[in-house]
């Protein structure tokens, strides 16, 4: 069930663009919470660890999608209540 929820989450990524902007510009979000997704993204880019190699077509990108969705979901959880309320649709 969680896998299906994550796939739906990825297809709604375009809805995250305004949330991401507000998340990083918000004074309510601490610097540490802003650095987490940046650090996670850089760590994932620079560490050549893939659960499934990318050359295996669509299956190779599955772990990339899972990691991306986990980081985005964590950002939503760490967001202040005002952003959660503004972007209710992201928590579904």
Tens-place pLDDT, residues 12-27: 777 788 999 999 999 9
Average pLDDT for residues 32-40, to the nearest whole number? 91
pLDDT exceeds cutoff 90 at 55: no
Q: What is the overall mean pLDDT for the chain?
A: 79
Burial of residue 53 (number of CB atoms within 10 Å: 0-12, 13-18, 19+): exposed
Average pLDDT for residues 59-80, to the nearest whole number? 79
Are 87 and 19 a contacting pair, CB within 8 Å?
yes
CA distance 49 to 37: 18
């Amino acid at each position: 069930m969680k896998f299906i929820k994550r796939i739906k989450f990825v297809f709604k990524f375009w809805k995250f663009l305004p949330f991401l902007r507000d998340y990083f510009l918000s004074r309510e979000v601490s610097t540490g919470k802003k650095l987490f997704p940046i650090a996670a993204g850089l760590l994932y880019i620079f560490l050549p660890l893939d659960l499934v190699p990318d050359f295996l077509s669509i299956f190779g990108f599955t772990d990339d999608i899972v990691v991306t969705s986990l980081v985005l979901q964590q950002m939503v959880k760490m967001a202040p209540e005002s952003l959660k309320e503004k972007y209710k649709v992201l928590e579904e």
